[in-house]
């Protein structure tokens, strides 16, 4: 009895187990253990004995603990945040813009076969580039443990590793500054172009509204969506707009075929005119400013990222090839190509203008989302730098003081 009281004094948390559990009373606390060490040993021993008293717990406990340690912080398989459909919608919406309707005017001098060969070549190059960017981004995400602190759910904010951080890790500081300058220039020019085009389209749809006012209001509305709605709301809205845009593009192509166009191989082929069409083709198919956002949206899952890149890039390619063939086979004066004159239907005006507005909107959403995440990462790095430096300084100071204490 006195030995039991002595052991209980060494392990206060295990008193109830010591006096109420026969198995715990059998085990003796090794002599010489006192203070915190004895208390920790007693707690572990009592807990182990209580677990062994429950049938099946003794065998299940190590397995459960091992699973918890192996999967600590990893999101459950069923609670992954992003979806392949959402990533594909982001890629398609960013790639397809209202300028796709004017592509046949640029590719007409070269002809369909040379321009189609150029489109497929550009697509293959851009896909390979996007896959390489995804590999680098995924490697950095794994090294920084970006995807182990979330438990899934669509309401969580993204943790994007931007092109600047990727360039800094691979090319050094100057590479990071150059990549950041190029990215900001591209984002700024794209947003200016999208704002201008949206103002132009809205001024035609809503009479009496000046282009600068309508363009600024349209851009501000989408910026508020991205800033206030978060990733989840923006993702759902973008999917709806992208599917509506693809549906309208199909309606335009079907209407053009009904008017007299068709899938054919125009005979003219001027390969020397291909370089003139190269910039507009690349601009129509490019989406690489969204690659870091896609990697964060899909939580670094390279299998889903690769699938999203392939599917998301194939949709604009097929749409561009089909539309280019139909338009080149239908138009008689390619130098003054007008889609409204080609369709010659009463509802074509509303359909074309709505498609143009949706195409601009989805492209602007992707650009705004990518730019906002870029600035969020930069501000986060600036905010965390002083604290990180202070932590390092404190560690060095403690080591220095420890060495002084050892000397004296």
pLDDT tens figures, 106-146: 888 888 889 999 999 999 999 999 999 999 999 999 988 87
Q: How far apart are CA 372 and CA 124, in angstroms?
A: 29
Handedness of CA 131, 112, 99, 282 (dihedral sign): positive
* d(C-alpha 34, C-alpha 41), whole Å: 10
Q: In 3D, which of 260, 173, 237, 201 has the Cα closest to residue 365?
A: 237
pLDDT, tens only, 44-70 = 444 444 444 444 433 433 333 433 333
- Give the Cα separation of 75 and 148 in Å (integer): 7
- 355 close to 254: Cβ distance less than 8 angstroms: no
d(CA 408, CA 405): 5
Residue 308 · residue 320 · CB < 8 Å: no
Q: State the pTM of this model.
A: 0.70
> Taking every pair of C-alpha atoms in the chain, what is the biggest distance, in angstroms?
108
Measuring CA to CA, how many Å separate 367 from each of 289, 308, 357, 378, 379?
A: 8, 18, 15, 17, 18
- Backbone φ, ψ for residue 69 (5° rounding): -70, -35
Average the pLDDT over each of 45-49, 148-152, 238-242, 278-282 and give the range with the smallest value: 45-49
Comma-separated ranges of CATH 1.20.1740.10 domains in the chain: 81-381
Of 261, 245, 276, 290, the closest CA to residue 100 belongs to: 245
Band (pLDDT 50/70/90 cuts) for residue 332 is low
CA dist 221 and 100 (Å) reads: 24
pLDDT score at 196: 92
With contact defined as beta carbons under 8 Å apart, do 24 and 17 qualify? yes
Structure confidence at residue 38 (pLDDT):
44
Interatomic CA distance for residues 160 and 140, integer angstroms: 11
Which residue shows structure tokens 């909107």?
361
Which CATH superfamily, name and number, covers 81-381? Amino acid/polyamine transporter I (1.20.1740.10)
Mean pLDDT calculated for residue range 77-90: 76
Residue range 261-289, pLDDT digits in tens: 556 666 677 888 889 888 889 888 888 88
Please give the structure tokens belonging to residue 196: 């201008």
Choice among 36-45, 94-103, 158-167 with the minimum mean pLDDT: 36-45
Phi, psi angle pair for 12, to nearest 5°:
-60, -35
Burial 16-39 (b: 16+ CB within 10 A, else e): ebbeebeebeeeebeeebeeeebb
Q: How far apart are the first and last CA of the chain?
A: 48
């Amino acid at each position: 009895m006195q030995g039991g009281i002595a052991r209980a004094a060494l392990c206060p948390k295990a008193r109830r187990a010591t006096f109420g559990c026969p198995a715990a009373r059998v085990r003796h606390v090794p002599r010489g253990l006192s203070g915190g060490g004895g208390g920790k040993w007693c707690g572990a021993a009592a807990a182990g004995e209580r677990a062994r008293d429950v049938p099946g717990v003794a065998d299940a406990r190590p397995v459960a603990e091992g699973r918890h340690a192996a999967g600590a912080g990893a999101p459950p398989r069923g609670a992954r945040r992003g979806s392949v459909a959402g990533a594909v919608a982001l890629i398609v919406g960013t790639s397809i813009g209202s300028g796709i309707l004017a592509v046949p005017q640029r590719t007409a001098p070269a002809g369909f076969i040379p321009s189609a060969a150029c489109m497929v070549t550009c697509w293959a190059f851009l896909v390979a580039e996007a896959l390489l960017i995804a590999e680098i981004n995924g490697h950095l995400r794994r090294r920084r443990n970006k995807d182990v602190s979330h438990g899934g759910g669509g309401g969580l904010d993204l943790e994007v590793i931007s092109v600047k951080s990727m360039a800094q890790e691979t090319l050094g500081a100057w590479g990071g500054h150059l990549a950041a300058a190029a990215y900001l220039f591209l984002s700024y020019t794209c947003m200016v172009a999208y704002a201008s085009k949206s103002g132009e389209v809205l001024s035609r749809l809503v009479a009496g509204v000046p282009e600068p006012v309508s363009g600024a209001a349209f851009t501000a509305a989408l910026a508020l969506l991205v800033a206030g709605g978060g990733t989840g709301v923006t993702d759902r809205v973008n999917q709806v707009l992208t599917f509506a845009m693809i549906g309208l593009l199909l309606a335009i192509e079907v209407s053009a075929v009904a008017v007299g166009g068709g899938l054919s191989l125009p005979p003219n082929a001027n390969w020397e005119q291909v370089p003139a069409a190269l910039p507009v083709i690349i601009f129509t198919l490019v989406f690489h400013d969204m690659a870091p956002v896609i990697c964060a949206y899909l939580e670094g899952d390279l299998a889903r990222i690769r699938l999203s890149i392939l599917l998301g890039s194939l949709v604009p390619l097929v749409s561009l090839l089909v539309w280019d063939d139909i338009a080149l086979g239908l138009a008689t004066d390619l130098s003054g190509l007008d889609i409204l004159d080609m369709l010659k239907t009463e509802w074509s005006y509303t359909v074309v203008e709505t498609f143009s507005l949706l195409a601009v909107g989805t492209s602007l959403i992707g650009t705004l989302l990518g730019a906002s995440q870029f600035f969020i990462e930069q501000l986060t790095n600036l905010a965390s730098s002083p604290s990180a430096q202070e932590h390092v300084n404190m560690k060095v100071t403690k080591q220095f003081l420890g060495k002084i204490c050892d000397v004296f």
